[in-house]
Amino acid sequence: MDGQLIELAYALDTFYFLVMGAFVMWMAAGFSMLEAGLVRSKSTVEILTKNIALYSIASIMYMLVGYNLMYPADGNGIIPAVSFFLGGDNDAADVIASGGEVYYSALSDFFFQVVFVATAMSIVSGAVAERMKLSSFLLFCVVMTGLIYPIQGYWKWGGGFLDAAGFQDFAGSGVVHLCGAAAALAGVFLLGARKGKYVNGKINAIPGANMPLATLGTFILWLGWFGFNGGSELMMSNVAEANAVALIFVNTNAAAAGGVIGALLFSKILFGKFDLSMSLNGAIGGLVSITAEPLAPTPELAAIIGAVGGILVVISIIVLDKSRIDDPVGAISAHGTCGIWGLIAVTLSNGDATLGAQLYGTIVIFAWTFIMALIFWGILKMLIGIRVSEEAEEMGVDVAECGMEAYPEFKK
């Protein structure tokens, strides 16, 4: 290829990468709306504060150290070399000299990666909603996005030992979603259920405040997921790569649709009613399920993988509820249970994947994140506490933690 063509391809791939990254950034809005819709109105301001703060903390921590830990210049496969701050970008002469080997901007890679960290952290915020101390959550966010997430990311995407073991995770059913869910589960374990959720052996429903917002949030996440999976192809400047990105879009959409239909029908059979909030979780479950391998399956298989994810979400939510694990938005089920299913489902279509390697990666990511999260939540619990007072919880964390209400002009 001549130099100008290489530069043009570089510009196109970088452009595609940045736009896909911006789509993923928009998922932060999706999580905010989904979570705001599924909590009570007295916890709205706090969950929105949490969401915009965690996105910002993730952006800064990953820029300072996280990105370098995940993609280190050096490392032994388990422990990456430590360095700080972002490096410079590629020189035009070097790009041309590489003959197309270097095909996107280094900073566009950082941008695409940083929005993934924020996604992992967003998963945690919904599960611990309505009862966690905001300050403890934000301190945990620093550790999660600066250390816990990047290390396990290095093991797979940074070329560490999970990658060497043949573990397959295309866009992060494990690295992003299972990781976020494992940290959430550890937090919920130490935090306990919302007051009034489980009383005298009975499970009390605590309905979400705003179903239109939850639905909008789900659609935003669905949109963002085209960037999440589509961008993870990393290249689109030739026919084969462009076709691959198109197939990923089609598969991602089919899996989400399958997830909704799976959850909708399954909830109708189980409860006798069409359950909207379960269907929304079904969409997320379907998306998470296809994230580990959105390229190899046919669209039909993608829809089936998603539908199984949608059914699993419903089962998982019921089982967690029966186990007294209070997850107000179903994040642990949609991202954790479906994350594991997604990693296993890779073996259905990707010939390079083995069940052994997939289970190995699943266990390593879960164990690392869960144990590290348990340690840091535990330290925070001892030092400053992680739960608001009973009085604050009854009054609502909006007023207790943020000093304001979401809808001050509506009085009950």
Partner 1 sequence: MKLIIAIVKPFKLDDVRNALSDIGVQGITVTEVKGFGRQKGHTELYRGAEYVVDFLPKVKVEVAVSDEMSDKAVEAITQSANTGKIGDGKIFIMNIESAIRIRTGETGSEAL
Nearest by Cα to 56 from 122, 106, 148, 132: 122
- Residue 267 is a binding residue for partner 1 (CB under 8 A): yes
- Residue 49 is a binding residue for partner 1 (CB under 8 A): no
Rounded Cα–Cα distance for residues 331 and 288 (Å): 11
Show the DSSP H helices in 39-84 as ranges.
44-61, 67-70
- Residue 393 is a binding residue for partner 1 (CB under 8 A): no
- Residue 270 is a binding residue for partner 1 (CB under 8 A): yes
Rounded Cα–Cα distance for residues 221 and 283 (Å): 9
Indicate the residue among 127 and 247 with the shorter CB distance to partner 1.
Answer: 127
To the nearest whole angstrom, how small is the minimum distance from the Cβ of residue 394 to partner 1? 17
Number of residues in contact with partner 1, rule: CB under 8 A?
A: 18
Rounded Cα–Cα distance for residues 61 and 16 (Å): 25
- Residue 318 is a binding residue for partner 1 (CB under 8 A): yes
HSE, CB side, 13 Å, CA atoms: give it for residue 315. Answer: 12
Among 321, 326, 393, 398, binds partner 1 (CB under 8 A): 321
3-state secondary structure (DSSP) of residue 80:
strand
Which region among 108-116, 174-182, 268-276, 352-360 touches partner 1 (by CB under 8 A)?
Answer: 268-276
- 71: which 2 tokens? 């993609």
- Residue 262 is a binding residue for partner 1 (CB under 8 A): no
Contact 285, 329 (CB under 8 A): no
To the nearest whole angstrom, how small is the minimum distance from the Cβ of residue 186 to partner 1? 23
Nearest by Cα to 284 from 246, 322, 349, 341: 341
Contact 282, 260 (CB under 8 A): yes
Give the position of tokens 């052994």: 356
To the nearest whole angstrom, how small is the minimum distance from the Cβ of residue 205 to partner 1? 4
Among 83, 98, 135, 204, binds partner 1 (CB under 8 A): 204
CB atoms within 10 A of CB 192: 15
Among 53, 203, 374, 399, binds partner 1 (CB under 8 A): 203
Contact 72, 25 (CB under 8 A): no
Indicate the residue among 204 and 238 with the shorter CB distance to partner 1.
Answer: 204
- Residue 205 is a binding residue for partner 1 (CB under 8 A): yes
Show the DSSP H helices in 272-389 as ranges.
276-291, 299-322, 331, 338-345, 355-383
- Residue 275 is a binding residue for partner 1 (CB under 8 A): yes
Among 282, 294, 306, 330, binds partner 1 (CB under 8 A): 330
Q: Write the interaction track for partner 1 spanning residues 279-308; mark x where CB under 8 A is met and - where it is not.
A: ------------------------------
Give the helix/strand (H/E) hosting 293. none
To the nearest whole angstrom, how small is the minimum distance from the Cβ of residue 329 to partner 1? 10
> In sequence order, what DSSP letters do the residues of 229-263 get, joined into one string?
HHHTT---SSHHHHHHHHHHHHHHHHHHHHHHHHH
Indicate the residue among 190 and 203 with the shorter CB distance to partner 1.
Answer: 203
Which region among 82-90, 130-138, 265-273, 378-386 touches partner 1 (by CB under 8 A)?
Answer: 265-273
- Residue 265 is a binding residue for partner 1 (CB under 8 A): no
- Residue 207 is a binding residue for partner 1 (CB under 8 A): yes
Rounded Cα–Cα distance for residues 59 and 52 (Å): 11
Which region among 7-15, 184-192, 267-275, 373-381 touches partner 1 (by CB under 8 A)?
Answer: 267-275
Indicate the residue among 76 and 200 with the shorter CB distance to partner 1.
Answer: 200
Which region among 55-63, 171-179, 205-213, 393-401 touches partner 1 (by CB under 8 A)?
Answer: 205-213
To the nearest whole angstrom, how small is the minimum distance from the Cβ of residue 130 to partner 1? 15
Which region among 58-66, 131-139, 317-325, 352-360 touches partner 1 (by CB under 8 A)?
Answer: 317-325
Query: CA–CA distance from 327 to each of 221, 242, 381, 398 (Å)?
Result: 19, 39, 19, 19
Which residues of this protein are in contact with partner 1, per CB under 8 A? 203-208, 267, 270-271, 273, 275, 277-278, 314, 317-318, 321, 330
